[in-house]
């Protein structure tokens, strides 16, 4: 549609980064893209670590968060900008991080509807939301993909990754709100 894409009129852009396998470089890409965006004063990027069990965006940013997305999930009834701000950790580069829950047993503490509300509030506050998803393409991942402006599917050029690209693209075809947004990115870093 001519300029009626969901989102552009509603504030920040949501860019979701999904990998076709572990270790293809999603978190590195998410963190580096946010850091590059933060170099421009008009930008305010936030990285959202949606790999609820094993996410490590905090490690990539070398920060030790005190709060996480769990704090928001536990307080949805009084979710506001102040609570949101307290749950974020700011990196010296200007990038903000909304980390995954600190304990693994809290990985399923948040529901897709809560996530959509959190994203809407972040979108009203930040210029770019860069979401690092899990590799399971579960309800949370799909919920964020549906409200994303762009979805970057990260792969490398080995056989198992390329097979996964085909499987994932076939799967995502079933979701009209996701279909047209997926771009395949080949990460060649570290490959000879």
Q: What token pair was written down for 127?
A: 């210029």
Q: What b/e sequence results for 72-106 when a residue is b if at least 16 CB atoms lie within 10 Å of its CB, and e otherwise?
A: bbeeeeebeeeebeebbbebeebbbbbbbbeeeeb
Q: What token pair was written down for 72?
A: 């928001």
Q: pTM for this one? A: 0.91
pLDDT in tens, 35-76: 999 999 999 999 999 999 899 999 999 999 999 999 998 999
DSSP tag of 181: T
- Within 13 Å of residue 163, how many CA atoms lie on the same side as its CB? 3
Segments of the chain with pLDDT less than 50? 1-8
Task: List, in order, residues 6 or more apart from 65 with CB less than 8 Å away.
Answer: 58, 89, 97, 99, 102
- How many helices (H) and strands (E) the chain has is answered by 8, 7
């Amino acid at each position: 549609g001519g300029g009626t894409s969901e989102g552009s009129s509603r504030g920040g852009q949501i860019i979701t980064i999904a990998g076709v396998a572990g270790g293809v470089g999603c978190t590195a890409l998410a963190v580096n893209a946010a850091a590059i965006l933060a170099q421009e004063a008009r930008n305010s990027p936030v990285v959202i670590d949606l790999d609820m069990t094993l996410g490590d965006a905090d490690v990539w940013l070398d920060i030790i968060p005190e709060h996480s997305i769990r704090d928001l999930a536990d307080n949805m009834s009084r979710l506001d900008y102040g609570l949101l701000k307290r749950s974020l950790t700011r990196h010296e580069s200007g990038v903000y991080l909304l980390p995954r829950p600190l304990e693994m047993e809290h990985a399923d503490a948040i529901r897709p509807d809560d996530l959509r509300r959190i994203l809407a509030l972040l979108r009203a506050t930040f210029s770019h939301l860069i979401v690092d998803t899990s590799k399971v393409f579960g309800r949370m991942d799909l919920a964020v993909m549906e409200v994303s402006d762009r979805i970057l599917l990260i792969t490398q050029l080995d056989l198992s990754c390329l097979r996964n690209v085909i499987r994932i693209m076939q799967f995502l075809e079933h979701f009209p709100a996701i279909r047209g947004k997926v771009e395949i990115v080949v990460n060649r870093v570290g490959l000879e």
